[in-house]
Structure 1
């Protein structure tokens, strides 16, 4: 468990390093901004493949070996990226590191969801909170030592990732939870409505992660447009990402008392309200912080809810929604940009609220389609 937490700190750090490293990359390789941005694209393409590969081989290869291979791939990718002598080779290693990243992300989320039983919701939130710690600390280190010294940070991440191999001995072939038969109610939901529920979860994750990354990408532009200084807008955006980490820690004690469905629904409602209130300039920095707090538990808690509703199809379902989340993070920021071009920058909160409304409608439908049975079963257990 400790090694898993450390792994999520490191995958958060790796993903967050590419942006702050762009000035150094441009200087070293003579790149344009667009070319330098290809590193993160290569990372995400690799991550998507890593999710699909891990889910495909999870039932065929020992979990310990599969997770260890992902640690090796991420360590090799992070080290190779900064030691490469040419930009195409560096992009290849960014892809390799992304494959390891995606496998770790999916693999540990899946293991935590099936391995902790009733504590799954709390443990998934605690696990994903570690990602936020890494994504906050890594850019801060780059800012402290300077973008020119980005290779040092990548190499440290690579070395620490390699050390994670010392902890794979704690990974069992099958979790205790996986040996328990699924409840009759949950099995009935999985059999009759699993396709519809899975499709709704996939769309929800695309929209939800699109909203999450959309706030992070467009909040500073919106705040500047309504009269805030660049420094204030940047600080407020950093506070938004901090709120996401704090929100996942804060939900852990709540998860012991509330069903996963209730947490996701009320969190989605909070996101919608805060996004809509961001149209008021005086409230915007604070309501964006509120969006971060409310959206924080939806990703990990949604995974726990999905595993409760479709326990027999959890492996495939988890891979689909995690892949969908990556697609949403890549596709929606530019789509929001197109919407802003058609309207104006001050319409950012309205566009985000529309996404929030769609997310709330989807989770309410999921609750109606199968959530009651799953929650009733959980309380009886």
Structure 2
């Protein structure tokens, strides 16, 4: 299990690098290809379309070839995409490549997260997921810092071959490393064995499904993740541009503030899982949602570079555990469907990540930073309402609904 968590952590580190790459180098990309923000946002949106396809396809592919083989394919897609980016092809081709990168890290995120939730002890699920999210945050922190340094030197293009190398190594590790007993859980052999056992007993293979009473909670969770990821990606991808346009900050300084956001995300994630386990998942998530609304509303009214840096750091702390704890909370209320629920929630996030940065880019071009910041604050309020609905549905399910006696189909 330790080796699995270690390589899972490396995978999340790489996913963090890949996911914020577009925001970290967006300004030099726009300058290199002579684009506006609306055109530049297409790159971000296309990548998240691929992300959505990856997380939706993950359960279907793992059902056929197992988790390990699917992860090799996922990181192979990411390696190929980053290698293609390295050649700085024409802009139209960059937009074609972007979904392949998204498929790679989207599929990987869904599978690794579901595997860790499934195999972790009940009392440590939130802590284990938060540990993975720490490494995601480290990757998201390192990328803007490294990109800012390379931008300063005039070699920002090197971000792509560096990511190619890390993705290739990660793919090889998933291909070759043995995880002991966990190999039976992530390999295709375990599925074949289950099928043979069921056939020998003359019983159909069980297929889990969602029950009707789960639907309100599931719907609330989908809305929560859709809005959260859209909010986070809109803010992180355009933070440097916000600061440059609103306060006149230099490009390297603005990119460094994005690293501060992810640094405080990492710090928060060191404690988020334990705190959520202690005070309960709904209480933790509700407090985080309320804090996010307040921070972004205040940021929309702030014009000072120094104060915007302060609010950005606090936002990183407040939002640090919202994704990982949200996933664990969703799976704690809908048991026996971890892989499907995780993929569904991550897919909802992918939709938000594809739509809202596109809208933010259009607002940046048409109306400037102030209205864009108010859009993000409005998204935070909608996220709060979505989680309130989700938590109420989850409480009704625990208080009044019977546990299912079977979740199988013939």
Q: TM-score, normalised by structure 2?
A: 0.75
Which whole-Å deviations, capped at 9, do the CAs of 1:189-221 have from their partners, x for residues lacking one? x74531111111111112112221232245455
RMSD between aligned residues:
3.5
Structure 2 stretches lacking a partner, 5+ long: 187-209, 401-410
- Please point out which of 306, 320, 333 is paired with 2:330: 306
- Please point out which of 287, 291, 295 is paired with 1:270: 291
**1:185-200 alignment, distance < 5 Å:** 191-200=211-220
Structure 1 stretches lacking a partner, 5+ long: 176-189, 377-381
Shift of 1:71: 2.7
- Please point out which of 26, 32, 35 is paired with 1:33: 35
Which whole-Å deviations, capped at 9, do the CAs of 1:158-187 have from their partners, x for residues lacking one? 332233225653244438xxxxxxxxxxxx
CA distance in 1, matches of 2:102, 2:55: 10
The change in CA–CA distance for 1:71 and 1:238 in structure 2 (over 3 A counts) is closer
**1:207-226 alignment, distance < 5 Å:** 207-220=227-240, 222-223=242-243
Comparing 49-58 with 273-282, greater Cα deviation is found at 273-282
Shift of 1:121: 1.1
2:375 aligned with 1:351: yes
Comparing 325-334 with 31-40, greater Cα deviation is found at 31-40
CA distance in 2, matches of 1:94, 1:113: 29
CA distance in 1, matches of 2:274, 2:158: 40
CA distance in 1, matches of 2:248, 2:88: 41
For the 8 Å contact 1:82–1:90, the answer to whether it is kept is: no
CA distance in 1, matches of 2:241, 2:108: 33
Higher relative contact order (CA 8 A, sep 6+): 2
Correspondence for 1:17: 21
2:148 aligned with 1:137: no
SS for the counterpart of 2:165 is helix
**1:34-183 alignment, distance < 5 Å:** 39-82=43-86, 93-116=97-120, 117-145=122-150, 146-165=155-174, 168-170=177-179, 171-174=182-185
The change in CA–CA distance for 1:320 and 1:13 in structure 2 (over 3 A counts) is same
SS for the counterpart of 2:278 is coil
The change in CA–CA distance for 1:237 and 1:375 in structure 2 (over 3 A counts) is farther
Which whole-Å deviations, capped at 9, do the CAs of 1:11-53 have from their partners, x for residues lacking one? 22223334555688789xx844367765544433322221111
The change in CA–CA distance for 1:86 and 1:173 in structure 2 (over 3 A counts) is farther
SS for the counterpart of 1:312 is coil
CA distance in 1, matches of 2:393, 2:50: 34
Q: TM-score, normalised by structure 1?
A: 0.80
2:261 aligned with 1:240: yes
